[in-house]
Structure 1
Amino acid sequence: MSISQKFFCALLLLALSISPAAALTDKKIDISKLRGPKISELSMLIISNPDAQIMAAEAGELDIIGDIARPSDIDRLAKNKNLQMSIARGFHAFFLLLNNKKSPWDDAALRRAAAMSIDRSGIVRMIFSGYCEPINSWLPPVSPWAPAGGAQDIYNPQAARALLKKRGYSWNMAGRLVAPDGKEMPAMKLLTPLARVSPTTAELAQTIADSLSSAGFPVETEPMDFSTMINRLDRKDYSMAVLAWSMGRNPDSLYSFYHSSMDFDGGYNMTGTCDARLDRSLEALRGAPDEASARKAAREAQRALLELMPSIPIYSRFSVTAVSKKWKNIFTTESSTADNMWTLLAAEPRGGVGRPLTMLLPEEPRNLNPFTASSAYSWQALGVIYESLLTTDPYTLENMDAIASSWKVAVAGSGRARHTELTFKIKRGLRWNDGSPLTARDIKATVDFLRRNKIPRFFDAVKNIKRIETPDDHTLRVVMEDVSYWYLDNVAGLPAMPAKVVNAVRDWQNWDPLAGGGEAGPAGLIGSGPFMLKGYRAGEYLLFERNPHYRLLEGAVK
C-alpha cells in the first residue's frame, strides 16, 4: 500500500470515528431545486483566540466552527453531545515559502537540500495526530491533476548533506553551514503568525526551524500579525515564511504562483520564482487548447517545480467542522465539510424558530475592499455578498449556472489569430441587493475596471482579454487574445459588481466601501450574493441580512 493510500485509509477511519459527513444531511439535497437562504440573518463572530473559539462552540455561541486544526480540539468537540462533526479531504496545502531572489535561497540545490531536511511524516504524527497528510507536490493529493508521487516522503538528511557537500558547502564546529566562499551562512528569520492567533502554525514553524537548524541552516522564527506578514510577503521583504493556500480544482493556479510574469508587488508569485523552463511549461499549461494538452503541460510543470523547489510543500490538512445539532439541512459532500455556501442557503433551525446562524470568523478581516482584499478572512465575508457568472456543482465539481444561465466556449480564427471566445447568457430578472437591475453591462464594467487598473489580485484572470462586447442586456461576449482551456474558469469566477459602483471608484487601492454607510453600510458593498452587510463592529462581529433579491429566493426573479 502506498503512502497516499495509507493516509486516505486513515482519513476514512477518522471520519468514521468522528461522524460520517453524510450523516449531517438528513437527505441528499437537490441543489437544482434549492431555494434559499432560509435564514434571515447570518452572524460571523470574530474570535481570534483558538481556546475561546472552542469554548464558544461548546457554549452554543457558535453554530458552525470550521477549519479546526488542533487534534485535541477535534477530539474534544467530537465528544460534545450538542455538536456533530464532518471531515473531508480538501484542497488545502501548506508551504514553506523561500525568497528565491535573496541569498541563500537563490540556489536551487540549497532549496532541495532544505526540503530533504524536513520530516513531513513526523510533523503529521507529532503535531496533527494524523489529521492531515504530508505532501511533496504543489497541488494537494486530492486534486485529479496532482502527480502520482505527490504524497511521497522525501525526508533524507543524509542525501541533503551529500548534496550540500557536492555544492561546496561545509559545516563549522558548531554545525552551522559554511558557504563555498568560506563565509558562515547568516541567520535567517522564518515569518509566522502569532502563536496566540495560530498556535498550530506557530508550532509547525518552530518545528521546521528546528529541523533546518539541525541540518546547519541557522533559522529562527519571527512571529507577527498576519496582515503584517502578508504585507511583507507582497513586497518580498522576507527570507522564509509559512503560508497555507486553499487551492482551486484546476492546476492553472500554478501559473499564478510560479510564473515569472506574476512576480510583482501584490502578485501571487511571492517566492520570486523565475525560470525559463518552468515558464514555458506553465505557458503551455495556461495556453492548452484541450484537456490532453493541459495534462501533459501540468506534468512537465510539476517536474520542473520538483527540480527547482521554489517553495517546500509540507502537508495537506483534512477539513474538519463542528456544527450545532440545533440546525438541520447541513450540506456536506465527500470533498466539502459543513462550512460552505450551500449550508448557508439550506440550513434551518430544527425548532422552527427563526434566529441568526452564527459562524466563526477566526481573524479580523484585513479589509473589505474587494479590489485589495487578499486574506481568506476578508473573502469569507465578501464571498456571501458577491457572486460570479458561474459557480461549482458541489457534487461533481463541474461548472454550474449562477448569474449566467448558459455559456458557450468557441475557438475562432486561424493560425496566429486563433483565439477563444466566451459567450454568457445572463439570467433575466436578476437584481443587485439594492434592488437595481443586474445586466451584462454591469459585468462588462466590472471586468473593464479590473483590466484598466491592472488590479494585482485579478490581473491574471483578465490580462489576456482582447475585448468585451454586450450585444444586449443579457448577452456578454468575451474575446480573448489567444486560446486556452482555462479562460472560461478565469473569467466566470470574477466577482460581479454594479457599473454604478465601479465607475464611481477613483482610487481603488484606498477605496473604503463602507464610507458614508455608518456602522452598517453597505455603501459600496453592492452585490448579487445571498446576503448583504447589515452591521460590522471591529473585533466583535459582522452581521449580514438576507438579500431580498437573491436569485434563489422564491419569487425573487420574475
Structure 2
Amino acid sequence: MHIPNVSRATKIWLLSAVCLALLLLVTTVIQPAQAAPDNQAVPPYDNEWPKETNGPGGPRADAIVFRVITQPDAQIMALLKGEIDMVGWPAPPEQIPQLKEYEKKGLIKLFYAEENSLFYLAFNFRRYPFQQCFDPNDPEGTYDRAALALRRAISYLVDRDYILNKILKGYGKITPSVVPPWTGRWYDPKVKELYEWTHKYDPDKARDLLRSAGFEDTDGTGWLNDPRTGRDLPTMYLYTPSYDPIRVQVGDLIASACQSVGIPVYNKPIDFNSLVNLVFDAHDFDLYILGWLLGREPLWLYYLFHSNQDVPGGNNAPGIHNATLDDNLTKIWEATTPDEMEEAVYNAQRIIAEQVAYIPLYYRIQVVPCSARWEGYFVEPLGGPANFWTFLQVHPRDTPTGGVFRFALLDRVRTLDYWAASSVWDWYVLGLLFESPIAIEPFNYTEIPWLANFTVEETDGGLVITFNFGRRDVMFHDGTPLTVEHYARTLDYINRTAGKLPGAEEWTYVGYLRYEFIPGNDTAIRLYFSRKSYWALRIAGGTAVLPMHYWWKDWPTCTEVRDPYSPGLTDKELTCGSGPYIFKELHPDYVVLVKNDNYWRKKLIQPSKAVPPPPPGVWNLEQPQGQPAEDPSRAIAERASSSIKELVRLMWITSLGTAVIGCGIVAAVAFFVRRRTG
C-alpha cells in the first residue's frame, strides 16, 4: 500500500488506525451467539371478520385431510415438499431462522401467536416418595412434610431462564402459576411473590431445604437417604413425550439437576400414547412432563385438580386431594359474578403452588408455517391459525373455493365418539362436525349466536335462558332438519347418562333445573336455573346439538338411550353433525372430511372479483395441491453449502485481520525502536 506525501511516522500511525479498524470489524463479525430475548414480538393480524354475520361464511375448501405425522421435523419437511398445507405443531425454535428465509422467497407463510397452553411437570401423589399420607398415626404430618420438601426442592432445580433462552430460543414465556398470564384477570401475580420456588432457580436453596427436611447422604453412595426410611431415595423416572424435542431437552435438564443434589431422577422419553396410558389411566409413574391447551377462563382448574377427578381416565393425574382446594374449585363453577370467581381462582392457584401439585414450566410463542398456496388463514390472537375459522374459510390462493387442505396431526384420532373424545387431535376433527347454539367470538371471547339466538333474563335468585332455533336451513349431515327438539333431547340424554359422562356435573354446579317449550312457538326453548351462575350461558349454549334420532333407541319417544361409549352406531351415524364438513374416511394415518354443500353458512361466503372461478374437474385426495414449495434434499444441500461459504468467509476475515494486526504491531515496534535509536 502506498500513501504519498506524508511522513514515515504518519504512515505508521495511519496503518495502525487501519489495523484497529479491521480488528473492530473482526470482533464485530465474529461474535459469540447471543441468547434469544425472552419476549419474541407477536405481530397483529388483520383477520377478516364480518360483524354483521357474526363471522365468515364457508366452507370454501372441497375437503380437509388430517394426516398423522408424528414428528415436528417431519411435518416441516412434508410442508416444504407440498405434502401438507399446515403443520399441527409449532416450528422447532432452531428451524425458525431457515423458515424465515423460505418465507422471504414466498415459499411459505409464518404466523406468530401466543399459545393458550401450559407445559408443566407433575408428581405422583399416590406413590412414594412424593405421596400424600393420610395416616392417623402421623398427626403431625411428618411424612407429608418430607414429601412436600422434596417436591419444592425439585422446583428450585428448574432453570427456567435456560429453558426460555437456550431451549425455546426466546419463543415462549415463563409462568409461576398454573393459571398463566395469558388468561388476563384470572392470573394471580401474588403467586410469584408468595412462593419463590415457582419461578426461582436456586440449587443451594434446594440443598438447604432437603437438608432441613432430613435428606442427607449418610452412607456415601452419592444419593440422598430418606429420613422416612433411612434408605437411599429410589430410582425415579421422568416421562417425557418422545415426539417433542423441547420437552425431551427440558427433561434432560431437570433430571441432571436432580442428580447433582443426590436425587436419582432419570429422563425417559416414551411415545405419547404409552405416556398417556401410564399417567392418566394406570397411574403408574413417578414424574412426567406434558402440556395442555386451555380455555381463557380457568374452569379447567376443576378438572385438573379436584379430588373427584382422581379416577382412571380422569385429568387429576397427580392425584392431589385437598378439601380446601376442592371447595374453591367448586366455587369457581358456582360463582355468580366475575369477582366471586376471581377470589376462588386465586385461592386455588395459591394452594396448588404451595403444595406443588404442578411445577409450571412455560407456555409457547408459536411460529406456525403454512403453505403460501392458500389464503384465508385466520390467526386468533391467542392460539394461532389452527382453528375452526381457518378451516371454514381457507381456500386456494388463485380461486375463491375448492382444493384439498391438508393439516398435520402429531397423533392419530383415537375416537369419533363425541362423548369419548379427549385429545386435541380428536377435537380438531370433531370440532368441524358438531355445533352448538352459541359460538365464542375470537377477539374478546364473548358469546355470539350460532345455531340459535339467545336471551338471558334474571329472576329472583336465578336465570332464564331462552334459545330460539329459528333457522330453517340447518340440516344434519344425513339431511334431517336440526330442530329445537334435538337440543331438548340432548339435554335429556345428558341427564339420563350423567353418571357416565365427564362434565355432566357442570349442569348441577350452574343450578340447572329444567327446560320447557314455549307454547305457540315451535323453535324456542326456555332453560331455568336456580342461581345466577356466571357460566350458565357457556354451559347451556356450548353444548353440542347431536343427532338424537340416533342416540335414543326409540326416537322420538325417547325412553331408551344408547350407551355413550359403546352406542352400536356406524361411523357415519357417530359423526352426523351439522358442521361445515362431513366425515368420509378414518384411517390410522389420516382422516378425510369433505365439504358440507348444505351448510347453513355457505351462502355467507363473500364473492370475490379478484380471482377466477375454480376450474372444472374433481379434487384428488392423493396429490398435493400445486407445486411443492421446496425440495427438502435441495434445501438441506443449500443450507450446508451456505454454512460452508459462511465458514470460509469468516476464516478469510480472521486470517486477514490477524495478518494486518501482526503487520501493525511490527510497524509500531519498528517506529518506537527508531525513535529510541534516532
TM-score (norm 1): 0.88
Q: Judge conservation of contact 1:287–1:485 (CA < 8 Å) in 2.
A: yes
Q: 1:307 deviation in Å?
A: 0.8
Question: 423, 440, 447: which one pairs with 2:466?
Answer: 423
Aligned match of 1:457? 502
Does 1:534 pair with 2:579? no
Q: Judge conservation of contact 2:238–2:266 (CA < 8 Å) in 1.
A: yes
Letter in 2 for 1:394: P
Q: Distance in 2 between matches of 1:495 and 1:459?
A: 13
Q: Distance in 2 between matches of 1:423 and 1:526?
A: 25
Q: Deviations over 1:245-289 (max 9, x none)?
A: 011010221122112222222222222121122122223322211
Secondary structure of the residue aligned to 1:488 is helix
Q: Judge conservation of contact 1:262–1:269 (CA < 8 Å) in 2.
A: yes
Q: 1:490 deviation in Å?
A: 2.9
How is 1:384-399 mapped onto 2 (pairs within 5 angstroms)? Answer: 384-399=432-447
Q: 1:349 deviation in Å?
A: 1.4
May I ask how many residue pairs the two structures share in their alignment?
A: 529
- Relative to total residues, which structure has the larger helix share, 1 or 2? 2
How is 1:214-363 mapped onto 2 (pairs within 5 angstroms)? Answer: 214-235=260-281, 236-352=283-399, 354-363=402-411
Q: 1:110 deviation in Å?
A: 2.5
Q: Judge conservation of contact 2:38–2:164 (CA < 8 Å) in 1.
A: no
Q: Distance in 1 between matches of 2:267 and 2:235?
A: 11
Q: Judge conservation of contact 2:454–2:468 (CA < 8 Å) in 1.
A: yes
Q: Measured at CA, do residues 282 and 165 of structure 1 come closer, stay the same or move farther in structure 2, by a change above 3 Å?
A: same
Q: Judge conservation of contact 1:108–1:310 (CA < 8 Å) in 2.
A: no
Q: 1:436 deviation in Å?
A: 0.7
Aligned match of 1:143? 183
Moved more, 56-65 or 106-115: 106-115
Aligned match of 2:155? 115
Letter in 2 for 1:136: P
Question: 555, 573, 578: which one pairs with 1:523?
Answer: 573
Does 1:133 pair with 2:195? no
Moved more, 430-439 or 471-480: 471-480
Q: 1:150 deviation in Å?
A: 6.5
Aligned match of 1:103? 128
Letter in 2 for 1:381: V
Q: Distance in 1 between matches of 2:342 and 2:36?
A: 25
Secondary structure of the residue aligned to 2:182 is coil
Does 1:488 pair with 2:537? yes
Aligned match of 2:491? 447
Q: Distance in 2 between matches of 1:411 and 1:180?
A: 59
Question: 479, 482, 486: which one pairs with 1:435?
Answer: 479
Does 1:549 pair with 2:598? yes
Aligned match of 1:506? 562
Q: Distance in 2 between matches of 1:77 and 1:150?
A: 37
Q: Measured at CA, do residues 479 and 309 of structure 1 come closer, stay the same or move farther in structure 2, by a change above 3 Å?
A: farther
- Relative to total residues, which structure has the larger strand share, 1 or 2? 1
Aligned match of 1:368? 416
Question: 34, 41, 56: which one pairs with 1:34?
Answer: 56
Q: Judge conservation of contact 1:444–1:468 (CA < 8 Å) in 2.
A: no
Q: Measured at CA, do residues 555 and 63 of structure 1 come closer, stay the same or move farther in structure 2, by a change above 3 Å?
A: closer
Q: Distance in 2 between matches of 1:127 and 1:9?
A: 11
Q: Measured at CA, do residues 210 and 484 of structure 1 come closer, stay the same or move farther in structure 2, by a change above 3 Å?
A: farther
Letter in 2 for 1:221: N
Q: Measured at CA, do residues 280 and 546 of structure 1 come closer, stay the same or move farther in structure 2, by a change above 3 Å?
A: same
Question: 410, 427, 430: which one pairs with 1:382?
Answer: 430
Q: Distance in 2 between matches of 1:475 and 1:177?
A: 67
Q: 1:85 deviation in Å?
A: 0.7
Secondary structure of the residue aligned to 2:533 is coil
Q: Distance in 2 between matches of 1:169 and 1:411?
A: 59
Aligned match of 1:156? 202
Q: Distance in 1 between matches of 2:119 and 2:604?
A: 43
Secondary structure of the residue aligned to 1:522 is helix
Q: 1:383 deviation in Å?
A: 1.1
Aligned match of 1:88? 113
Secondary structure of the residue aligned to 2:420 is coil
Q: Distance in 2 between matches of 1:409 and 1:167?
A: 56
Q: Distance in 1 between matches of 2:582 and 2:318?
A: 36
Q: 1:483 deviation in Å?
A: 4.8
Q: Distance in 2 between matches of 1:7 and 1:287?
A: 43
Structure 1 consecutive aligned stretches of length 4 or more whose deviation exceeds 6 Å: 6-9
Q: Measured at CA, do residues 125 and 548 of structure 1 come closer, stay the same or move farther in structure 2, by a change above 3 Å?
A: same
Secondary structure of the residue aligned to 2:274 is helix
Secondary structure of the residue aligned to 1:554 is helix
Q: Deviations over 1:370-394 (max 9, x none)?
A: 2222111111111111112221111
Q: Structure 2: which 5+ residue stretches go unaligned?
A: 1-34, 132-146, 193-197, 554-560, 606-678
TM-score (norm 2): 0.73
Secondary structure of the residue aligned to 2:183 is coil
Q: Judge conservation of contact 1:441–1:470 (CA < 8 Å) in 2.
A: no
Letter in 1 for 2:562: R
Q: 1:86 deviation in Å?
A: 0.8
Q: Distance in 1 between matches of 2:443 and 2:376?
A: 16
> Which is higher, the Rg of structure 1 or of structure 2?
2
Letter in 2 for 1:129: K
Does 1:22 pair with 2:45? yes
Letter in 2 for 1:428: R
Secondary structure of the residue aligned to 2:304 is helix
Q: Deviations over 1:464-487 (max 9, x none)?
A: 465442405533434446553223
Q: 1:337 deviation in Å?
A: 1.7
Aligned match of 1:518? none
Q: Deviations over 1:124-167 (max 9, x none)?
A: 22221111112211112211111226777322222222222222
Q: Distance in 2 between matches of 1:184 and 1:420?
A: 59
Q: Measured at CA, do residues 32 and 154 of structure 1 come closer, stay the same or move farther in structure 2, by a change above 3 Å?
A: same
Q: Judge conservation of contact 2:506–2:539 (CA < 8 Å) in 1.
A: yes
Q: Structure 1: which 5+ residue stretches go unaligned?
A: 1-5, 414-418, 516-520
Q: Distance in 1 between matches of 2:266 and 2:290?
A: 16
Q: Judge conservation of contact 1:96–1:311 (CA < 8 Å) in 2.
A: yes
Once the two structures are aligned, what percentage of the paired residues are identical?
A: 29
Q: Measured at CA, do residues 103 and 33 of structure 1 come closer, stay the same or move farther in structure 2, by a change above 3 Å?
A: closer
Q: Measured at CA, do residues 460 and 113 of structure 1 come closer, stay the same or move farther in structure 2, by a change above 3 Å?
A: farther
Q: Distance in 2 between matches of 1:98 and 1:481?
A: 39
Secondary structure of the residue aligned to 2:73 is helix
Q: Judge conservation of contact 2:239–2:287 (CA < 8 Å) in 1.
A: yes
Q: 1:333 deviation in Å?
A: 4.0
Does 1:68 pair with 2:68? no
Q: Measured at CA, do residues 476 and 217 of structure 1 come closer, stay the same or move farther in structure 2, by a change above 3 Å?
A: farther
Q: Distance in 2 between matches of 1:422 and 1:189?
A: 50
Letter in 1 for 2:445: L
Q: Measured at CA, do residues 542 and 138 of structure 1 come closer, stay the same or move farther in structure 2, by a change above 3 Å?
A: same
Q: Measured at CA, do residues 506 and 333 of structure 1 come closer, stay the same or move farther in structure 2, by a change above 3 Å?
A: closer
Q: Deviations over 1:189-241 (max 9, x none)?
A: 22222x3x333333322322222232332222333332232222223232222
Q: Deviations over 1:435-486 (max 9, x none)?
A: 2121222223333333433345333434446544240553343444655322
Q: Distance in 1 between matches of 2:110 and 2:568?
A: 38
Q: Distance in 1 between matches of 2:479 and 2:153?
A: 58
Secondary structure of the residue aligned to 2:40 is helix
